[in-house]
A and B are shown apart, each in its own frame.
Chain A
Amino acid sequence: MAGAEVDVGTELRLGLPGGGAEAAKAAKRGFEETIDLKLKLPTAGMEEAAAVKQEPAVEKAKRPAEAAATDAEKPPAPKAQAVGWPPVRSYRRNVMSVQSVKNKKEEEPEKQQPATNASSNSSAFVKVSMDGAPYLRKVDLNMYNSYKDLSIALKKMFSTFTTGNNMNDGKLVDPVSGADVVTTYEDKDGDWMLVGDVPWEMFVESCKRLRIMKSSEAIGLAPRTKDKCKNKS
């Protein structure tokens, strides 16, 4: 074939946006995909049902594997929309949808999309346990954009366990001893890490559960493991 001599190797720029690439892939697959990929779905009722089609029906057969993958990413459409309306070209829709995904993850470099979070539209619930607290809570990490937001939310969530004036820089304290607590998380590999060490995006992607424990118990947590976890050398 004519292109046989052409090399495949290429020097790629660093910082290849993984998240963007994933979304771009989805967007690319959806070249002839219709409009509600990653766009806000209308909430008002639709007047003309006759003219309107279910968009998955139109596009699925075209590229079945890719359409299915895209459907998996998309939240289910509440109602049908007209294909190709408003008349914005697929090219433009794809570019804008990739952009909007990127914009939601503003200052962080893009990463591979985590298996759990297909898009920022879906949720990333993890259990949060606090030592000494009688029950677990759950938080959706996708609701927050930064560690600060998360810690404010955790503080509110577990505020009943903090003594009134022990708000050391807004930190939670152990309900029994009044000592400082730290927040740790279990990542995809099963290791327990201190929350706050890695970029937010990476944290959201790899966090499986959160645990708020006494600072004293968390010494040496980041490079080494502790407690119920396997050893890392």
Chain B
Amino acid sequence: MSTPRSSSTSSPPQIPQSLTLAPARTASTSSSSSASGMRDAAEDDFDSPPSQMSEDDPGGGVGDRWEPDLRGGNGGARWAPPDQVLENVLESVLEFLTAARDRNAASLVCRSWYRAEAQTRRELFIGNCYAVSPRRAVERFSRVRAVVLKGKPRFADFSLVPYGWGAYVSPWLAALGPAYPRLERISLKRMTVTDEDLALIAKSFPLFKELSLVCCDGFSTLGLAVVAERCRHLRVLDLIEDYLEDEEDEMVDWISKFPESNTSLESLLFDCVTVPFNFHALEALVARSPALRQLRVNHHVSVEQLRRLMARAPQLTHLGTGAFRSEAGPDGALSVSDLATSFAASRSLTCLSGFREVNSEYLPAIYPVCAKLTSLNFSFASLTSEELKPVIRNCVNLRTFWVLDTVGDEGLRAVAETCSDLRELRVFPLDATEDSEGSVSDVGLQAISEGCPKLESILYFCQRMTNAAVVAMSKNCPDLVVFRLCIMGRHRPDRITGEPMDDGFGAIVMNCKKLTRLSVSGLLTDKAFAYIGKYGKLIKTLSVAFAGNSDMSLQYVFEGCTKLQKLEVRDSPFGDKGLLSGLDYFYNMRFLWMNSCRLTMRGCREVAQQMQNLVVEVIKDHSDDEGESETVDKLYLYRSLEGPRNDAPPFVNIL
């Protein structure tokens, strides 16, 4: 396209305000969960719908195709390109691109597009905080309003990454603060965040609106108090499955620190803050937060207190119900019908969770809202199948259901019969040990597959499974995007035929054409992985445990799963040969994690030598005091533009 060259060096006209697209309100992480209504990120690296935030990170994905434009002095300042009009038009158009994947593509067209895209990217998504340095990121993108950062590998959730490994947010904040004074949103996952970091956020970003911390650690109620007090425009404070550092006698009354005038709070999720809090302050806060739509309290809230909160906030859409039992004596306990009245008055409720110490007698209180519920999380409620079934039968519009395996196959049958619109099911084990009884089986899975044909995501912990049930699900639920089956006892075969579970998982990859995330378990041979490599063309995340016979399994996966981004393997008989079969593919992935396999230092060193743009970390347990042994217990490798990180602890050996 040709346009007249501008001859003068007049200052570039401003982008017309009407063409500047306001960023999507839903914060990056909430966008992915709001589809399911569940902010809880347990066992989840949710693939966001492409229209919002994609999983590709801008810096780390494009190595040799990406050159930072650091010429012209200050990389963030604009220098007048020859064709200013085109640049402005480009920017106006690119404003409409929101997905990082689309933006990454646009940035590759030519320098002009690269610059225009860099100026207009509003949300920065960094899937691995070590893939790119903060400096590089802020130099390229000058007008960012939201940052998403992910740190530790997911297996950290299962105690496989020793404490102190890394993923500190401090260096990022040090760079983001000066670069983006108008920053509004920060979302962190599996990062270490200190109270000082929280104070720095409050100080650096006067317009700060949304803070989301998922599976983070390192901070306490002291840091929360600073955020509450100083972030006067705060809309969202979502604390999800974080580990706070409080000792009970040192905690701070952070709830009292919110502004005394009406607040802009829309979402306050703090069910993971285990220490007690000032209830009266919360009640007052809720009363002066007219925009509040989502509230999740911790287990220190009784039904009597819950009722008071609900009275103050009848407009809630998402409610985490706390303990859901009475704290009063036998004479003062709230009646079920009074509690039911409260629920009846909450006409907008679509998402319920909590029930942390549930007294099942109070369950009927939620009947008035069941028909409108799209999301229900009973996964911390130890309820029997008999207690659950009447509730389930009322939830005809349920799309997301999380529950403990105490629901039993019977309860799942009720789900199948009632919840024909179900999209996401998670069944967690009450007793998370390998030899537990397990209360659900292939029978429940089969029932669900028959009753819930729209199922998109399933996480299922069990002890007894058959290939037939898995095959049935693969055929009945063609929309499956996430299939995670965990047969808890290791190497368990089909309970009826005694065969490996190869055919079941094979059917899943064959029939579920939209599958992007897969976790396998049970007795599996190389054949299963041959299937996965052959048919799993869209798989981005694969989790493997106690599976496979030989290195061929890994080779099948590397060669076949062309979209593979994240591979996590544990306790499987894969050695250096299998590792090296991935050499050509590692750079297209975000990371590879392998623990308790058969890797040696020789194999890992070879990867490090041949692939200079990978960081290869060999992680030891603290207790390994001996010098470097040849066997590698934990390997974590990831692409990076920065080379070895400088904050690695002594037990991490970067090759």
Interface residues of B in 325-383 (CB under 8 A from A): 327, 356-357, 379-380, 382
Contact A84–B196 (Cβ < 8 Å): no
- Asked if residues A6 and B357 are in contact (CB atoms below 8 Å), the reply is no
What chain A residues lie within 8 Å of B519 (beta carbons)?
A: 87
- Pairwise interchain contact A7-B276, C-beta atoms closer than 8 A: no
Is residue B67 within 8 Å, beta carbon to beta carbon, of the partner chain?
A: no
Q: Which of A7, A24, A35, A87 contacts B486 (CB 8 A)?
A: A87
Whether A7 touches B357, Cβ cut-off 8 Å, given contacts A40-B431, A62-B163, is: no
Q: Is chain B's interface secondary structure helix, strand, loop, or mixed overall?
A: loop
Q: Are A28 and B253 in contact (CB under 8 A)?
A: no
Which residues does chain B contribute within 8 Å of A84, judged by CB atoms?
155, 157-160, 570
Residues of A within 8 A of B (CB): 1-3, 6-13, 15-16, 21, 24-25, 28, 31-36, 39-44, 46-48, 51, 53, 57-63, 81-93, 95-96, 99, 102-103
7 A-B pairs (CB sep. < 8 Å): A10-B277, A11-B253, A35-B433, A82-B434, A90-B243, A91-B241, A99-B380
Interface residues on chain B, number (Cβ under 8 Å): 72
B residues sitting closer than 8 Å to A (CB atoms) are: 42-43, 155, 157-160, 162-164, 195-196, 199-200, 202-203, 215, 217, 222-223, 225-226, 229, 241, 243, 248, 250-254, 256-257, 272, 274, 276-281, 300, 327, 356-357, 379-380, 382, 428-436, 461, 486, 488, 490-491, 519, 543, 545-546, 570-571, 596, 621-623
Dominant SS at the A interface?
loop
Q: Which of B159, B356, B435, B461 contacts A99 (CB 8 A)?
A: B356
Partner of A10 from B195, B251, B546 at Cβ < 8 Å: B251
Tell me whether A89 and B162 are in contact (CB under 8 A).
Answer: no
Q: Closest A-chain residue to B596, C-beta based?
A: A51
- CB pair A16 B356 closer than 8 Å: no
- B431 partner residues in chain A, CB cutoff 8 A: 39-40
Cβ–Cβ contact A88 & B429, under 8 A: yes
> Within the complex, what minimum Cβ distance (angstroms) separates B632 from chain A?
14
Known: A82-B434, A86-B434. A33 touches B278 (CB 8 A): no
* Top 5 A-B pairs, shortest CB-CB distance: A84-B158, A61-B622, A2-B199, A42-B435, A10-B253
Nearest to A58 among chain B residues (CB) is B621
A12 to B252, CA, bound (A): 11
Measured in the bound complex, the distance between the Cα atoms of B571 and A47 in whole Å is: 13
A26 vs chain B, min Cβ distance (A): 12
* A85 to B487 CA separation, bound complex (whole angstroms): 11
Candidates A2, A28, A35, A86; contact of B203 at CB < 8 Å: A2
A191 to B280, CA, bound (A): 40
B163 contacts A91, CB within 8 Å? no
A87 engages B248 (CB within 8 Å): no
Question: Is B571's CB under 8 angstroms from A24's CB?
Answer: no
B621: which A residues are within 8 A, CB to CB? 53, 57-58, 61
Compute how far the CA of A8 lies from the CA of B247 in the bound complex, rounded to whole angstroms.
12
| In contact, A88 and B596 (Cβ under 8 angstroms) | no
Q: Is the CB of B435 within 8 A of A31?
A: no
Across the interface, B243 reaches (CB within 8 A) one of A6, A31, A47, namely: A31
Name the A residues within 8 Å of B571 (CB-CB).
Answer: 48, 51, 82, 85
Q: Is the CB of A39 within 8 A of B432?
A: yes
Q: How far is the CA of A1 from the CA of B461 in the complex (A)?
A: 46
Q: Do A58 and B159 touch (CB < 8 A)? A: yes
Roughly how many angstroms separate A167 CA and B623 CA in the complex, as a whole number?
A: 61
Q: Would you give the shortest CB distance from B324 to chain A, in whole angstroms?
A: 12
Question: Looking across the interface, which residue of chain B has its beta carbon closest to that of A30?
Answer: B159
Q: In the complex, what residues of A have CB within 8 A of residue B436's CB? A: 40, 42
Q: How far is the CA of A183 from the CA of B428 in the complex (A)?
A: 46
Knowing A40-B436, A84-B159, say if A6 contacts B380 (CB, 8 Å).
Answer: no
Q: Taking the nearest CB of chain A, how far is it from the CB of B423, in angstroms? A: 22
Cβ A40 vs Cβ B253 within 8 A? no
Closest to B257 in A: A6
Set B276, B428, B429, B434: member contacting A13, Cβ < 8 A? B276
Chain B residues whose CB sits within 8 angstroms of the CB of A99 once the complex forms: 356-357, 380, 382
Are A2 and B226 in touch, CB under 8 angstroms?
yes
| Set of chain B residues within 8 Å of A58, measured between Cβ atoms | 159, 162, 621-623
Other-chain residue from A8, A13, A33, A95 in contact with B279 (beta carbon distance below 8 A) = A13
Asked if B622 and A62 make an inter-chain contact with CB atoms under 8 angstroms apart, the answer reads yes
Which A-chain residue is minimally distant from B488 (CB atoms)?
A86
Asked if A39 contacts B491 (CB within 8 A), the reply is no
| C-alpha spacing A47/B523, complex, angstroms | 13
- Give chain B residues whose Cβ lies under 8 Å from the Cβ of A87: 43, 157-158, 486, 519, 543, 545
